[in-house]
Amino acid sequence: MAAGTLAGRARPRPDPSAATRHATTGVVVALGLAFLVAGAVWDLCIGASGMSPAAVLHALAGPASSISHQIVWTIRMPRVLLAAIVGGTMAVSGVIMQGAAANPLAAPDIVGVSAGAALVGVAGTVIFTSLSGTALVLASIGGAAAAAFCVIGIAGAGQGRTGTARLALAGVTVTAMLLALTQAVLLLHQTGTAGVFFWLVGGVNFASWHDITTVAPWAAAGMTGAMLLARPLNILALGEDTARGLGLNVTRIRIIGVLCTVCLAGSAVAVAGPIAFVGLIVPHIVRLLVGTNHLVVIPVSGLLGAALVTLADVACRYVQFPFETPTGVVTALLGTPFFIYLARSQARRTR
């Protein structure tokens, strides 16, 4: 059951039949798409100036000069798109980290990637105030990469074999240090940190098209890398020794995995802040639903991550409408009960 699944390294369980598995995957994909589309449409309809779905369509079809068109196109649309992109990239980066580190707790927010990007994001907003928005995003991705390679260095991944526990411990250690530094920056610069706390919870509340064009190339590169890693990760799931025996260069796969995570999660955090939970839990939910084949888990995680953050963005609008509450506040609230339900029902079935 969950023990095997949660470990992220279980062999694909013997299925009653491949057809059942395909049918389940089909249902999950269809439901994920339905939730994503419903969430996106709902999100597009929320805003201080109102608008029904029909009005949104009418506004989009209307002249570009009209205010309602501008509101939907320049304020609401990038927000919905960014929610989907950030959700998808965070979830896929979680799959890659868990697979590459062979550790169920691995996720961008655990292995330092989110914390590295967040520290640079905070420092760039509070201390290095002359940094432009684009430069800050690039610097944040650099921070994510630095943190990730710091973790790998401490865990000794460069010298061959890396115990999975060592990688997780190194990640937790570096994350703790980065969080402490972030807090120090905030504590010592209290006069200019109002909006930074908002950003630190993570959210797509103030998204613009510029954010989309900034994050898109990184997301595309990361997603491509992730799909290329799917087969090697399937082999690695058989166990590190077996994978090596089969000729897999485990160290190289891990480094490529971290690079993918930096592209995916680093860029997402740089733009939307460290939205927690998505990268950790969505991959587990997906494995519980569709099995452990990374060729399926990666795209389905992207889909469900996108749906989750889009729905979370809808929910966060209602906290103090028409004002903004960080999207990250509700991601865990939406995802955790679902995960607990899945894990428990799976446990019952296998008992």
Partner 1 sequence: MLKNSRTVRNRPHLSKALRSTKASSLFAAAAAVACLAVTACSTGSAGGAGGGSTAGGATAGAAAASSASAASPVSSIVTSDSAADANARANLAQCGLSVRHVTDASGTVVTIKGDPSRIVTVQPSFADEASLVGVSPIGIGDDNDPSLIIPQIKDRLKSYTSIGLRQSPNVAVIGQLHPQLIIADYVDNVSMLGQLRAIAPTIALLSDHTDYGQNLDSALNVGAALNRCAPMKAALAAHAKVMARIKAELNQADHRTFIFALSNKKNTSVFNYQQYATTVVSYLGLTAAARGGQFQAGDAKGTSMETLVTLNPGVIFYANENNTPASLLTNWEQSPVFQAMTAYQDHAIYHVDQRTWSLMRGVTASEVIAQQAVSLLGGK
Q: Contact positions toward partner 1, by CB under 8 A? A: 45-52, 65, 67, 70-71, 74-76, 121, 124-126, 129-130, 132-133, 136, 179, 182-183, 186-201, 205-206, 208, 273, 276, 315-326, 328-330, 332-333
Tell me the closest approach of the beta carbon of residue 100 to partner 1, in angstroms: 25
Indicate the residue among 29 and 334 with the shorter CB distance to partner 1. 334
Indicate the residue among 116 and 225 with the shorter CB distance to partner 1. 116
Tell me the closest approach of the beta carbon of residue 211 to partner 1, in angstroms: 11
Tell me the closest approach of the beta carbon of residue 101 to partner 1, in angstroms: 22
Instruction: Indicate the burial class of 4 (C-beta count within 10 angstroms; 0-12, 13-18, 19 or more).
Output: middle
Tell me the closest approach of the beta carbon of residue 25 to partner 1, in angstroms: 31
Tell me the closest approach of the beta carbon of residue 321 to partner 1, in angstroms: 4
For 5, 88, 142, 157, 219, the CA distances from 259, given in Å and listed in that order, are 25, 17, 11, 14, 12
Indicate the residue among 179 and 343 with the shorter CB distance to partner 1. 179
Indicate the residue among 153 and 322 with the shorter CB distance to partner 1. 322
Indicate the residue among 5 and 125 with the shorter CB distance to partner 1. 125
Indicate the residue among 199 and 218 with the shorter CB distance to partner 1. 199
HEC profile for 201-265? HCCCCCCCHHHHHHHHHHHHHHHHHHHHHHHHHHHHCCCHHHHHHCCCCHHHHHHHHHHHHHHHH
For 48, 50, 70, 71, 81, the CA distances from 64, given in Å and listed in that order, are 20, 18, 7, 10, 19
Candidates 350, 228, 279; CA nearest to 112 is 279
Question: How far is it, in rounded angstroms, from Cα 199 to Cα 190?
Answer: 15
209-236 and 133-155 helices, crossing angle to 10°: 20
Give the residue carrying structure tokens 């339900």.
Answer: 341
For 4, 8, 159, the CA distances from 288, given in Å and listed in that order, are 10, 10, 34
Indicate the residue among 4 and 47 with the shorter CB distance to partner 1. 47
Sequence-distant (≥ 6) Cβ neighbours of residue 7 within 8 angstroms: 102, 104
Indicate the residue among 21 and 189 with the shorter CB distance to partner 1. 189
Note the residue count of the chain. 351
Structural tokens at position 221: 């590169």
Tell me the closest approach of the beta carbon of residue 33 to partner 1, in angstroms: 24
Tell me the closest approach of the beta carbon of residue 127 to partner 1, in angstroms: 9
Tell me the closest approach of the beta carbon of residue 106 to partner 1, in angstroms: 18
